[in-house]
Structure 1
């Protein structure tokens, strides 16, 4: 009885001992778990505190490095300047008044040519002489006919005077006197007809001389001695009246609209270093429907270097305009047209289309697209892309 009781108690004691060990292990596991969680929390906090700041610093450093790596570009602020408006044009030199001279009469064989191309002649000066032997004989015949008519007129007058003396005596009737008066008048009329015929013949002879209609410079000679000419032979000579020259300049419709008579022009013949001063004296009232161009006629004083038919360029000073002025390196061109690159407030590149006006020695006038306050990339714009970050540097004033 006692043995069994003791055995039961020992087994009960051993069971209690086993339960305390299990509890101890559980407590240790909980402590380990709590310690691990706390360590993890501390690690996360430390990472957030120290690691996050490092990332921000790294990001800031990267941004600074990127800013340092952005290309440096020179920019200019052009403002607005008053620029002389100059229009460039090309054209052909010609005589301002090109006068063709031909045969005014019936013509004939040329006996003599008295002038050469390049000579100056006066108004009415004989340029060429047509052979006139036949016409001279006709004139002599008409002169003789005048003498015959005058003799008849004198005879008719004498007969009239005798008849008037006898009419009072009754030997001649009044009807006879009237017939003699008519005969006398007819004879006088024949004299005048003969004189007119002689005058006409002499005028035809005078027209056989080819004469200059006005003073000027002989530009061309198209006749030689021995040549048979007539009214249908065309111009035998060409004369520049007064030696005055002009440039027939072709201009676009927009430029032509800005011109006015009297505007000064500098004309430079092709291949010559010498320039000549002239002025616009006439503007074409029409525009060519095909080319949309018109003609401005520029008067030029005579100079032996200005030869009609030659090619020349002209610089027309058509007033002044106020606009931004850029160096040629700042203006770029592609298939879409002319443009410039500007740097915005946040230092990024932006494309700006423009319309180019006059190109001068000082630079390019921008007619449209800029107000003058923009920061424009001065050069190397072809290596930049719109939206690209740059470091702008103000260019030195020119």
Structure 2
């Protein structure tokens, strides 16, 4: 009886009977169900039969990967590196006293515009004035000795003319006069030198410019030659930037430098690389690059923040791609190139890396400008993989444009 009721799951032609019919049969006579519970194997077979009858065969889904692409830039691309810097004077002097002493006055501040000959600082001149007075006394003493020796020489020359003294005595007087004259000359030269030393107690600017630094204050004792004031000469200016060590050689060859001031970013200033430091800064570990700008550039002040863009050309066969487009396969690098119009597939193209800047690299290989290269999802692809492009560039979708135009035309009609 139980077997006959379960047999209603299939008709004589082998077709499946709806599950609701089986459920209603069980509700009218649950006894067969109890019999089936005592026959677990039979129940399992029936359950699997019912599940197989109700389920559908799974549809086969084609593996299509979504990717992002970029259109290859033309060869001989521009390489741009932008570095921050500051405006500085091309010529800057660090001034110091020629003599040592105690500073008693500072007459300028940072930013003071000074003229040639203007006093910047003063030293205590007391010791120098005493030395000058000593030199004056030495000159007076030497002058007296010289005049005495000169008078003796003249008198003995007259006596020699009358043959009252020997020639040896006259020669001795002549020698004494010459020694006195030399002593006078020495004393006079010492006096002039001490006069200059006294004048060195006043520090003056030797150029027209701007004070950029003060390294000593009043009351401080400084040695001769110690820099105490820095003065930037008016006129020629330059922008100084710090370049990382992996870009120094590339920036050195840059033939076009564009400078923009942070205060006026719309003003474009053409500059040229004047000097590249051969030694890295011990603190920042960067190499100073000095960029000369025209002297007549308006609104450029010392200390302003500036940005220098170095523009150069790559080799004729170099192409620029994002760093994410590269895939390492065994011992070489490759990129995925998208091919096909309706059905898009990818293939590997071996490449050679010729340079890198930031998140972009320049590569060389069997590539042409205008081709599409995968930039996202490169690790999930295999040769011949079908792909769909996310946010495809406009230039790479001519078919989509044509289809959209046709649809718009049909809707208008």
Task: Provide TM-score, normalisation by structure 2.
Answer: 0.61
Q: CA deviation at 1:206?
A: 2.1
Instruction: Give 2:149's aligned residue.
Output: 156
Q: CA deviation at 1:219?
A: 0.7
**In the superposition, relative to structure 1, how do residues 79 and 260 fare at CA in structure 2: closer, same or farther (>3 Å)?**
closer
Instruction: Give 1:266's aligned residue.
Output: 258
Instruction: Give 1:230's aligned residue.
Output: 222
Q: 1:306 & 1:367 partners in 2: Cα distance?
A: 42
Q: 2:283 & 2:205 partners in 1: Cα distance?
A: 39
- 8 Å CA contact 1:85–1:358 kept in 2: the answer is no
Instruction: Give 1:129's aligned residue.
Output: 122
Q: Deviations over 1:203-236 (max 9, x none)?
A: 21122222335544321113334x2322179421
Instruction: Give 2:170's aligned residue.
Output: 177
**Structure 1: runs of 5+ lacking an equivalent:** 1-61
Larger Rg: 1
Q: 2:250 & 2:269 partners in 1: Cα distance?
A: 22
2:308 maps to which of 314, 320, 327: 314
Q: 2:310 & 2:141 partners in 1: Cα distance?
A: 71
SS at match of 1:278: strand
Q: CA deviation at 1:160?
A: 2.0
**In the superposition, relative to structure 1, how do residues 116 and 277 fare at CA in structure 2: closer, same or farther (>3 Å)?**
farther
SS at match of 1:116: coil
Structure with the larger helix share: 1
| Residue 353 (structure 2) pairs with residue 347 (structure 1) | no
Q: 2:354 & 2:131 partners in 1: Cα distance?
A: 75
Instruction: Give 1:397's aligned residue.
Output: 395
| Residue 78 (structure 2) pairs with residue 84 (structure 1) | yes
**In the superposition, relative to structure 1, how do residues 350 and 204 fare at CA in structure 2: closer, same or farther (>3 Å)?**
same
**In the superposition, relative to structure 1, how do residues 142 and 373 fare at CA in structure 2: closer, same or farther (>3 Å)?**
closer
Q: Deviations over 1:237-268 (max 9, x none)?
A: 12234463331331344x43344478332234
1:256 maps to which of 221, 227, 248: 248
Instruction: Give 2:408's aligned residue.
Output: none
- 8 Å CA contact 2:338–2:346 kept in 1: the answer is yes
**In the superposition, relative to structure 1, how do residues 340 and 89 fare at CA in structure 2: closer, same or farther (>3 Å)?**
farther
- 8 Å CA contact 2:73–2:320 kept in 1: the answer is no
Q: 1:144 & 1:289 partners in 2: Cα distance?
A: 54
Q: Deviations over 1:337-374 (max 9, x none)?
A: 997542246732346676596789xx967433561167
- 8 Å CA contact 2:122–2:201 kept in 1: the answer is yes
Instruction: Give 2:231's aligned residue.
Output: 239
SS at match of 2:82: strand
**In the superposition, relative to structure 1, how do residues 163 and 358 fare at CA in structure 2: closer, same or farther (>3 Å)?**
same
Map 1:176-215 to 2 at 5 A. Answer: 176-215=169-208
Instruction: Give 1:221's aligned residue.
Output: 214
**In the superposition, relative to structure 1, how do residues 269 and 368 fare at CA in structure 2: closer, same or farther (>3 Å)?**
farther
Q: Deviations over 1:66-96 (max 9, x none)?
A: 6xx9679897764734423323344566554
SS at match of 2:155: helix
- 8 Å CA contact 2:326–2:335 kept in 1: the answer is no
Q: Deviations over 1:115-138 (max 9, x none)?
A: 322234455543212121332243
- 8 Å CA contact 1:82–1:321 kept in 2: the answer is yes
Q: CA deviation at 1:324?
A: 7.0
SS at match of 1:257: helix
- 8 Å CA contact 2:101–2:221 kept in 1: the answer is yes
**In the superposition, relative to structure 1, how do residues 88 and 356 fare at CA in structure 2: closer, same or farther (>3 Å)?**
farther
Q: 1:224 & 1:289 partners in 2: Cα distance?
A: 28
- 8 Å CA contact 1:245–1:306 kept in 2: the answer is no
Q: CA deviation at 1:316?
A: 0.7
Q: How many residues align?
A: 326
Q: Which moved more, 1:364-373 or 1:137-146?
A: 364-373
**In the superposition, relative to structure 1, how do residues 350 and 93 fare at CA in structure 2: closer, same or farther (>3 Å)?**
farther
Instruction: Give 1:55's aligned residue.
Output: none
Q: Deviations over 1:154-176 (max 9, x none)?
A: 23222222222222334333333
Q: Which moved more, 1:120-129 or 1:350-359?
A: 350-359
Q: Deviations over 1:292-339 (max 9, x none)?
A: 97553323457876655x7654211223544576787xx636896997
